[in-house]
Amino acid sequence: MEKNLRNLRKAMDSSTHKGLRFTEVQKEKIRFSLFESKMIGSKKSQFHVYVLTSLAISFFLLVFFIDIKEHVILNDGVQQGTQETLQNEWEVRYSYKKNGRELFAVFPDPFLTAGKPFGYIFSFKESFDTYKGKEIEIDIIHQETGERINVLPSQKITEPTPGYSSLNRFTTEFIVPNTGLWKYEVYLDEKLYGDVIVSIESEEITPIFLPENIPEFVQKRDFEQIDWERKAIDIGDNMIGNVDKSGVIGADMPSVKMSQKWMWHLWGIENPLNMELTVVGFHKKERTAYPILNGGWNLKLGGENNGADAHTPSSVKLPMTGEWAILLYVNGKLFDTLILNIHL
């Protein structure tokens, strides 16, 4: 019924009769004029009676339509919010009040952005008897496009939130696809219980920063294409790295507290004595490239060692904790990337 009413409201809003056309005083004047015309009409000709009757019917239908319109607005638009006028319907608000009493509030994830799943806590204020045994579902509506999405399919409420006497911490998770203002409508047994308005922002991506002295062959696209899910693993012989590609001895217990000795190993390299290894550290959160080698960006490669085709020792100092991508270049070409989590 509530959803049908929302559709009716849309249709009425698009008509030429949108808005409040007559006050109560004006409607009373119309009704009085009709009554007076009826009294005079008994003394007029049949033609005049016919005209007045037609006008009466027209005015009656118009007043009736306005009354219906006002009823729909008051019982659909105003109750779907803080009982204010429709001009304020899309103001951001995280709680729903009825008759001055808060019925529920929503607490989104503080890092809420569009296009990713985020969690919500809905804190319902009434006693559990209000919700027990009912089906709850949530729709979201986009202000700009009118798109409606059912983000919480109907589910039965059988017990209160653990540790609480009611639904004080009803949790759910869903994706809001686009930025902008969204209305979150809560339904109980398919009847609208209330709504809130949430503003969804886009995720701001920090630009990639490269130091001025970084080698020219290192490009920003190298960092944009990093696969952060391809973590370095234990590949044996006390090495952390990528199987049959690259590995490091000393990176199994990385630290930012002091310089460390790391031994680099590479597979698939021919004539390593004529080659140079460039090591670039890239911090995921800071989106900044750093020279992590003590002494610059480059190392001379040596021959076979520990089963690898090339190796070289180094002294490494990482400036901060966090998730790091270590990009390895051989003679100016990207060779491999090691993903390490530095937490000490």
Average pLDDT over residues 215-238: 94
The pLDDT value given to residue 46: 54
Band the pLDDT of 89: cuts 50, 70, 90. confident
Average pLDDT over residues 253-262: 79
Phi, psi of 209 (to 5 degrees): -115, 130
What is the percent of the chain with per-residue pLDDT over 90, rounded to a whole number? Answer: 63
Q: In 3D, which of 208, 213, 205, 334 has the Cα closest to residue 282?
A: 208
| Same fold across 86-200 and 220-342 | yes
pTM to 2 decimals? 0.46
Is domain 220-342 in CATH 3.50.50.60, yes or no?
Answer: no
CB 165 within 8 A of CB 146: no
Asked if pLDDT for residue 220 goes beyond 60, the answer is yes
Average pLDDT over residues 136-150: 96
Strands (E), 74-216: 95-98, 101-108, 117-124, 135-142, 148-156, 170-175, 180-188, 191-200
* Side-chain-facing half-sphere of 333: CA atoms under 13 Å: 4
Average pLDDT over residues 7-11: 48
Band the pLDDT of 204: cuts 50, 70, 90. low
Mean pLDDT of the chain: 81
CB 200 within 8 A of CB 151: no
What is the percent of the chain with per-residue pLDDT over 70, rounded to a whole number? Answer: 73
Domain 86-200 sits in CATH at 2.60.40.3830
The pLDDT value given to residue 295: 86
Average pLDDT over residues 269-289: 95
Q: Which residue type sits at 228?
A: W
Band the pLDDT of 1: cuts 50, 70, 90. low
Average pLDDT over residues 139-151: 96
The residue extents of the domains of the chain are: 2-78, 86-200, 220-342
CB 265 within 8 A of CB 239: yes
**pLDDT 10s digits, 299-341:** 999 999 999 999 999 999 999 999 999 999 999 999 999 999 8
The pLDDT value given to residue 47: 46
The pLDDT value given to residue 206: 78
**Counting beta carbons within 10 angstroms of the beta carbon of residue 338, is it exposed (0 to 12), middle (13 to 18) or buried (19 or more)?**
buried
CB 222 within 8 A of CB 327: yes
List beta partners, residue 149: 140
Dihedral sign computed on CA atoms, order 288, 294, 300, 306: negative
Asked if pLDDT for residue 30 goes beyond 70, the answer is no
